[in-house]
Amino acid sequence: MEIDRPPQPARCVQAVVRNHVTVFTDPHDLIARVEEIRRAREFGSRKVPAEIEVGPLCIAPAEGSVTWNGSQIALSAKQMAVLTLLAEHAGQVVARDFIFEALWRNEPETGVSLVNHQIMKIRQRLGDGAALIETIPGKGYCLRAPDMATPSLQAGS
């Protein structure tokens, strides 16, 4: 017997419960979290650009290639996906939960700490380019070139 999948809003609520041990005291917080999950899931079906440049960082997702100041940087597939997502929203704060839902939604045993770990690994690989990825406490991460303005709170925040 096949069990029908619940409708999209119900799956979003299930994801909130499954991935977070957060007590929402304000219904607006719960609604905001469900909306964030919905946006992240829609993001997963986007068309990825052939090449993204953020200052001296060049990412070619289809080729699996990253260069920093002309030097090739080796990244895992997940690290590439995280960096691509940040680059697509360069100059904007991208929430940890948004990154998690966009890239790991089918892996319920993991959590946003996996995002933190991947960011740490990307920074290690970038070396002196690590400063491009800024941590915004309580919000998420922002990828920006040195000449970019202060991050805006748009992507998944």
Please give the pLDDT value at position 93.
93
Q: What is the mean pLDDT of the chain?
A: 76
Kindly give the residue spans of alpha helices, DSSP state H, lying in 44-140: 77-88, 96-104, 112-126
Q: What is the pTM assigned to this prediction?
A: 0.67
Judge whether 109 lies within some domain: yes
- Reported confidence tier of residue 3, pLDDT bands at 50, 70, 90: very low
Q: Which residue has the higher pLDDT, 77 or 105?
A: 77
Which structural domain range is residue 25 located in?
Answer: 8-46+75-143
Domain count, the chain: 1
CATH number for position 130: 1.10.10.10
* Contact between residue 19 and residue 34 where contact means Cβ atoms under 8 Å apart: no
Say if 61 falls within a structural domain. Answer: no
Q: Rounded mean pLDDT of 115-140?
A: 92
Structure tokens at 1: 């017997």
